[in-house]
Amino acid sequence: MKRNSKLFILIYLAALSAFGPLVTDAYLPALPNLRGYFQINESLVQLTLTTTMIGLALGQLIAGPISDKFGRKLPLTWSLLTFTIATIWIFFTDNFWLLIILRTLQGLACAAGIVISRAIAKDIYDGEELRKFFIIMMMVGSLAPIFAPIFGSMVLKYNSIQEWGSANFAGTFFGDLIDKFHATFGAWLGDWHGIFVALSVVGAALFLANFSFYESLPPQKRLSGQNGALHAYKLLLGSRKFMLFIAVCTSMMTGMFAYIAASSFIYQDKFAVSPTVYALLFASNGAVSVVASIISAKMSAKMALRAGAYLFLLSAVIIAFALIGDLPIYAVIAGFMLLMFSLGFTEPTASYLAMQKAPHYAGAASAILGFTMFFAGGLISPVVGLGNMMITTSVVILLMAVLCFITTEKSIKSANL
């Protein structure tokens, strides 16, 4: 069986694992824009996040076992093609409910990339090497939440950027190039539609790259029989050690999704920051999670888990005081930044430990991991938009921090770390 180069696998799997953050984060600066475009309230706007996350969750339950039975490449091929078509369709629609349906389909399609990327890593690596690879995947994949909102805000400012370019390079080759680009693609850019144009290009690029991927799961290692998936799920759901690590990941990621759903409105509505400033704040939080993951690679799994749990709890307390106590924006920034810093310790370590408990069912294990995280995140997104967002966001993040702390301690004892 042909092997993929380590560099290709690293870049390709990181790009696939970044699908979720890319699809949810790229248009965060445009959420207030969507509210005005469709004349809807904040809770309905956040429904576009909810349906995507539910699609991401359910899609992983389907794609995981399918990849265990038929291999990794075929499901990836079809999912990437479906994602690209659904995304192209989105920027042709002006109907909000059709947008909701297409966002759900988009989530279902890109779920395969998330779940299968972890399964491929488990096919190729094991032990401490797998943990380090998960950390590297998170570091590279974190570029998506760092740059996606910045890119989204640039798309929203396309018209002013184009005018500046035309004025400063008038009469030159670059000026003519800018004007030709604007004449060809300008109608699709400058508002939220342009963000989905860019996402369709990403989907098409990954679809083409998939043809260079060599299958990582040989036929002799695939699940056989009609009940293979059900047996795998039953076995994994009955494993206390596996499910404890799933609970750690889910509580951590649910807190992060609450931050994602609320931060655009908190920063832009409450503190009146511009979409560009918001994107930079969001990107800085992504950067600190990368720093934390680098630090966690030099720690034992036990130390990394505990550090993440304590920091998450501390961040939740700071966020609650800042939002409910109506403190200055700097306190809010500090709380959200500490939350994302804790993520870098917890998420790759707990994911690695969960996958280690399922050596023969990598696809199913990755599916359960992804489903619980995105389903919980999808449910929580509209919740933070109900009532007073400052209070609901604080309560949700604080509850998730307490749950993460409790399950982390239990998982450490259960696994004898």
Each domain of the chain, given as residue ranges in start order, spans: 6-215+225-414
Q: In sequence order, which ranges of 210-328 are alpha helices (DSSP H)?
A: 228-237, 240-265, 275-296, 301-324
Q: How far apart are CA 259 and CA 253, in angstroms?
A: 10
In the block, residue with structure tokens 């206390």:
240
Give the pLDDT confidence score for residue 146 in this predicted structure. Answer: 62
Q: How far apart are CA 119 and CA 114, in angstroms?
A: 9
What percent of the chain is helix, strand and coil (3-state, nearest 5)? 85, 0, 15
CA angle (20 as vertex; 96, 330 as ends), nearest 5: 90
Q: How far apart are CA 120 and CA 151, in angstroms?
A: 29
Give the pLDDT confidence score for residue 313 in this predicted structure. Answer: 95
Give the pLDDT confidence score for residue 358 in this predicted structure. Answer: 72
Q: How far apart are CA 138 and CA 116, in angstroms?
A: 15
Q: Read off the tokens for 125.
A: 């690596």
> Topology of domain 6-215+225-414, per CATH?
Growth Hormone; Chain: A; (1.20.1250)
CA 68 and chain centroid, separation:
23
User: Most distant CA pair in the chain: distance in Å?
Assistant: 70
Give the pLDDT confidence score for residue 184 in this predicted structure. Answer: 47
In 3D space, the residue among 195, 193, 154 whose CA is nearest the CA of residue 279 turns out to be 154
pTM exceeds 0.85 for this model = no
Residue 66 CB neighbour total at 10 angstroms: 22
Q: How far apart are CA 211 and CA 339, in angstroms?
A: 38
Q: How far apart are CA 408 and CA 401, in angstroms?
A: 10
Give the pLDDT confidence score for residue 365 in this predicted structure. Answer: 82
Q: How far apart are CA 394 and CA 386, in angstroms?
A: 12
Q: What is the mean pLDDT of each run of 10 residues along the chain (417 residues)?
A: 71 78 71 74 75 81 81 87 88 83 87 82 77 72 63 59 52 58 52 76 87 80 65 82 91 88 81 79 81 85 92 95 90 93 89 79 79 78 78 92 94 83
Element (H, E) at 206: helix 192-209
Question: Is 396:233 a contact under the CB 8 Å cutoff?
Answer: no
Q: How far apart are CA 163 and CA 390, in angstroms?
A: 38
